[in-house]
Structure formats: C-alpha cells, structure tokens
Chain A
C-alpha cells in the first residue's frame, strides 16, 4: 500500500481536539470576558472571606448606615469609612462581607440546582424522545408538573420537609438540600421539552439509521449520536437555568422560606434592602449587580461554548 514512513506519520496522534475548542472559544470576546468575570466572582466569594475576615453577621449599631466609600467624592458630609468600603446596612453589618458570604450560597445554589434541573430535563427529554412507548407517559408527567403553580408548591415543600431535613443534615445543609432539590425538580420541564423535540427530529436522520445498521445499542446511540447533537439547546437552557435558580432562591428567601434570616444570600440582601432603596440605593445595586453580571457572564460563556463545540462553526 503506502510506505512505512507515511503510515507512521498518519498514525501519530494529532493534537487534542480540546485545543481546537479552546481556540474557537477565544475568538468569542463576550465569552472570554464572561469567563474572566466568572473566575473573578468565584475567587471573590471563595477566597475573599479569607482576606476580608469581617464577620458578615456581626452587628454594630453605632456604625450603621455607612455609605459606600465613593460617596465621599460627591458628598463631603456622607458617613464613610475605609473599614466598610461598600458601606454597612441598617444594623451595621458590613455589606462587602455579606456579599461574599451571600455569593457563596447563591452560586452554590444556582449551580447545583441548574445542574440538577438540566440533568433531569435531559434525561426525561432523551428517554421520551428516543423510546416511543415512554413518550406519552413522560410528556404527560411533564405537562402535569408544568401545570402546577410552582411557588405554592415550593412553599408547601418547604413547610413539609424543612424540619426533618434540618434534623438530619443540620440547619444550613438541610435547607440547602431542600432549596436545591426544590428548584431543581420544578425547573427541568422546559429542557425536557426542547430536548425531546430535538431527539425526535434527530432520531429520523440517516446517521442514526446508519448506526442502527452497524448494530449500535440504544445507550451508545444516545451518548454517541444524540447527546452531542442536542448540546446546543441544553447549553442554552443551562445558562438560563442558572439565572432562574439564583432568582428563585431570592424569591424564596424573600418570602421567608429560604435560608434563615441571619444567613445572607444575594437574593436576600437585595430584598431586605428594597424598602429603603431610595435612601440607600447601593444596598440594592451591589447584590443586583452581582446577580446580573454572573448571569450575563454565564450566558456569554454558554454562547461561546456552544459555538466552540460545534465543529461546523469551529472550522471557520
């Protein structure tokens, strides 16, 4: 056939595919900024409390209502000090420490609930789309969950399971598990529907038929042919899911059914400050900014990843 040197050269393993993905990802400016911000905010909430070791729960009534440091520029009479660069709230708790501590919880809840929801949604969507006999059952179940009013459902869940979970896992972990599962199992339906539709369309494509003519069993058909091709809609619903999870957690905390009141999260800080928003806008702006920038960053990363993982786009 061919000479040995040529075959050796061809057999030599070429560079890893993931480098191509990274190269394409780098060309998406928004995604790179998003990744940068996500790394920054993750470090800010994880390493931040080690450097800024102020107890977020410590009350200091004499030092209450301190404005953020930049207010000194416009208003020489403003109450500012360097010990509380982002200011303090009406009980004198340091806002920066609270944002860090709250970010830990919010990000953890957001990511875990999103991963749970996407996993559930993909699983149910793929099963319903691929196995025709499961389709009716699973999709009617999806419709059923969609038709339930979610907030009351979550509230009932909180009331029913809060105490047993607290007893089993401790007050913080218990409520964390409760909130994550609560959000996860009430937000997978959109993903399931999108994935089901895409799988049903893909299933009729000829390459799936070709795989069947090879004798590929169903599980590898799904992992090798279907999942990589429904990656884009999954990615989109994942990025949207993260945002929804953070915001739902805020809503729950606001209703007093999330984490305990001395336990800050971004959503809780935001809602606690709403009533004095006109006098102290920064108390809304800091957590609001953190939530929206994180969500925006994840959306951009998702966008960039979707492009980078698609070989048709990557080629150019």
Chain B
C-alpha cells in the first residue's frame, strides 16, 4: 500500500437517501427519488476528499446526509468513531460541534436580519457557556482568521460582497473548532478571482486547525487543486474513488474519462489534439434508474452484462475504487498494475 494507513475520521457505508414522491388525488406514495443510492467512502483524518459529478447527481444531498441534516433512508455513518446514521436528531445535538458545513450560496445561507457578529456567535450561543465578552473576543478572532475586518462585526450580510459573505459562512463553521467540515460547492457562486482566495483560505485553515474536508464541487480543476482524493458520483452512486494524481492521470471508469475530457484545455495546441468523449443522451431520472449499471444508457464502452448486473464497487487497484464491469478481470491482475502505477506516481512527483 502507498498510503501510510491513516485512520478514517468519517466513514460512510452504503448510505441511501431516498425522497418519497407523492402524487394523485390521495397523495399516495408512488415512488421515490434515489438521490443517494448506496454510497460508501472514507475520509481520512486531515485529508480533503473531493466529491465531483454533474448537476443533480446527488453530491449536495450526500454531503447533507453525511451531516445528518436529513433523516437518511439507510446506511451507516460514523464520524470520529461514533455511529450517527440512525441517531435521532435530539441525540445528535452534542455531536454537532465536531461536524460543520459551509454552504453553496453565501447570500442564502446567512440570515439577512442578523449582524455578522450574531451569525458567527450563534454556534457559540448554542454549544458553549462563555460570557458575552468572551464570545465577542472569539468572534473577533474568527473574523481575523478568515480575513474579515473586525470593525464589520455589527454590519448585516447584505453589505458584503460574495467572497466576504462566504468568509462569514466559513467563520461560522469554524466557531466550534470542528474536526470535519463539509464544503458544499463553497465556490460555485463566486467570481473566479474570489474562488482562488476562498480556496486558499480553506487550505490555510486546514493547515492551521488540522481540518478534514469533504469538498463538494463540479469544478474539476479546483478539486484537482485542493483534494487529496477524489470521488466521482453519477446518478446517486460513487462510480470511482481514487487519489488525485491517479484519477486525473489515468481515469478508470468510462464516466470519469468523459468527465475529465470535458475540462477545457488552456493550451490551444494541446486543445486541438485532445479528443473529447461526448456522451449521448440524458441522465436517467433518479426516480427510475436503469437496470444494471446506472451509466449503461450512455456508456461508450457498454457491454451486455452492464444492462443486467449492477457492478460491485470495489478496489481494483490499491487505493483505487471503481464500480465498472470493465475491470472485472483486472482485480486479479492488480499486482502487475501496481508496478505500473508506482512508476506512474514517481513520474508525477
């Protein structure tokens, strides 16, 4: 193994989040949207796991379900050694300081009627019994940490720019010294110039406070920058999970290949030569996924078995997981690939 076997801080097993659909005259349950349908992954302590995929594939739902903002359909989630998958919301409250979230839309995630100070102070009000003065000092420290001027503490969110608002959201997430932060597309609503600032801030904070991130994004180049390992989701399932270098250099799953080939290439001479994999058709409805592999309707290398049997999600190379029938026979040949991969890794380094 190449990993020095760090222990997982968060481990998710077969997480399912199905939303019921009610229809008809009597509002009967006619089906369910399988937003997250059997997802398993570990997030190691101190690492950043990137979670990528196209719109509507269940990334955000997955992030929220891991924090138990929803009552999950089934599955196990353990954070910091405690199983929280089936815990009722009331008992979850003491666990909340360990896990926090940074939201996608910094405009919507801040209460417009509260001052910045009140927003950042809210977690302290809920979980600590510090005096008012201590809380105010802590808020000022947090504002320093995320690069906001302390003088703005009494202002309201509408007076800030998008990047500053996102910093307020990050300061709120940091207030309780969490171990694990889910960043739900924290940069999607920001300008490109601000995106870099916020991502760098997140990296600095990770170093400073020893944070672990689940970084949800659809921006592949940003994930390449920040993530240690990357998980690719398609239609409610993780199709591939691999260390960053391996995934970007040599994607295994056909969907990952297509996704990566869609990243624009800045060098025009290279851009002319790279071949894009254009996927045909639409993403199937998550309320009615196809039989067999979820990707079989659009896969360029589809086989007969794909339409009948759902591929197992398994480790096909050390540290690399994928759910694809193409690698059914490679599981045994791992040894050969391992050698190939180690040379590959050295090249990258």
Q: Do A and B bind each other?
A: yes
Q: A47–B118 Cα gap in the complex (Å)?
A: 42
Which residue of chain A has the shortest Cβ distance to B102 in the bound complex? A210
Show the binding face of A for B, using Cβ within 8 Å.
1-2, 6-7, 10-11, 14, 17, 205-207, 209-217, 220, 224-225, 228-229, 231, 310-312, 315
Q: Please, which residues of chain A bring their CB within 8 A of the CB of B112?
A: 229, 311-312
Are A10's CB and B151's CB within 8 A? yes
Query: How far apart are A273's CB and chain B's nearest CB, in angstroms?
Result: 47
Q: A114–B150 Cα gap in the complex (Å)?
A: 42
Query: How far apart are A167's CB and chain B's nearest CB, in angstroms?
Result: 47
Are A312's CB and B137's CB within 8 A? no
Query: How far apart are A164's CB and chain B's nearest CB, in angstroms?
Result: 45
Which residue of chain B has the shortest Cβ distance to A214 in the bound complex? B123
Indicate if B41 sits at the interface (CB-CB under 8 A).
no
From A11, A214, A229, give the contact of B133 (CB < 8 A): A11
Are A214's CB and B122's CB within 8 A? yes
Indicate if B313 sits at the interface (CB-CB under 8 A).
no
Query: How far apart are A309's CB and chain B's nearest CB, in angstroms?
Result: 8
Indicate if B213 sits at the interface (CB-CB under 8 A).
no
Q: A312–B140 Cα gap in the complex (Å)?
A: 23
Query: How far apart are B179's CB and chain A's nearest CB, in angstroms?
Result: 14
The total of interchain contacts (Cβ-Cβ below 8 angstroms) comes to 88
Whether A311 contacts B144 in the complex (CB less than 8 A), given A211-B122, A213-B96, A216-B122, comes out as: no
Q: A243–B130 Cα gap in the complex (Å)?
A: 46
Are A215's CB and B96's CB within 8 A? yes
Indicate if B93 sits at the interface (CB-CB under 8 A).
yes
Query: How far apart are B204's CB and chain A's nearest CB, in angstroms?
Result: 14
Q: A311-B115, A315-B156 are in contact. List 9 more A-B contacts (CB 8 A).
A: A10-B151, A207-B111, A210-B101, A212-B69, A214-B127, A214-B176, A224-B111, A311-B113, A312-B158
From A215, A216, A225, give the contact of B92 (CB < 8 A): A215
Q: Please, which residues of chain A bring their CB within 8 A of the CB of B141?
A: 1
Q: A300–B215 Cα gap in the complex (Å)?
A: 49
Query: How far apart are A263's CB and chain B's nearest CB, in angstroms?
Result: 44
Q: Please, which residues of chain B bring their CB within 8 A of the CB of A207?
A: 108-111
Q: A315–B140 Cα gap in the complex (Å)?
A: 22
For chain B, residues 129 to 167, give those with C-beta under 8 angstroms from any C-beta of chain A.
133, 136-137, 140-141, 144, 150-151, 153-154, 156, 158-159
Q: Please, which residues of chain B bring their CB within 8 A of the CB of A7?
A: 137, 140, 150
Are B144's CB and A1's CB within 8 A? yes
Are A206's CB and B96's CB within 8 A? no
Q: A212–B71 Cα gap in the complex (Å)?
A: 12
For chain B, residues 56 to 108, give those with C-beta under 8 angstroms from any C-beta of chain A.
64, 67, 69, 92-93, 96-97, 99-101, 103-105, 108
Q: A210–B109 Cα gap in the complex (Å)?
A: 6
Are B105's CB and A213's CB within 8 A? no
Are B113's CB and A11's CB within 8 A? no
Q: A10–B156 Cα gap in the complex (Å)?
A: 17
Give 8 CB contacts A-B under 8 Å: A6-B150, A11-B136, A211-B111, A213-B69, A214-B100, A312-B156, A315-B158, A315-B159
Indicate if B126 sits at the interface (CB-CB under 8 A).
yes
Query: How far apart are A236's CB and chain B's nearest CB, in angstroms?
Result: 17
Which residue of chain B has the shortest Cβ distance to A205 in the bound complex? B108
Q: Please, which residues of chain A bring their CB within 8 A of the CB of B172?
A: 210, 214
Which residue of chain B has the shortest Cβ distance to A1 in the bound complex? B144
Indicate if B53 sits at the interface (CB-CB under 8 A).
no
Are B140's CB and A11's CB within 8 A? yes
Q: A303–B97 Cα gap in the complex (Å)?
A: 41
Q: Which of A6, A10, A228 has the most CB of B within 10 A?
A: A10
From B110, B126, B154, give the contact of A214 (CB < 8 A): B126
Q: Please, which residues of chain A bring their CB within 8 A of the CB of B110?
A: 207, 210
Are B109's CB and A311's CB within 8 A? no
Are A229's CB and B113's CB within 8 A? yes
Are B144's CB and A225's CB within 8 A? no
Q: A205–B114 Cα gap in the complex (Å)?
A: 15
For chain B, residues 255 to 291, give those with C-beta under 8 angstroms from any C-beta of chain A.
none
Which residue of chain B has the shortest Cβ distance to A6 in the bound complex? B150
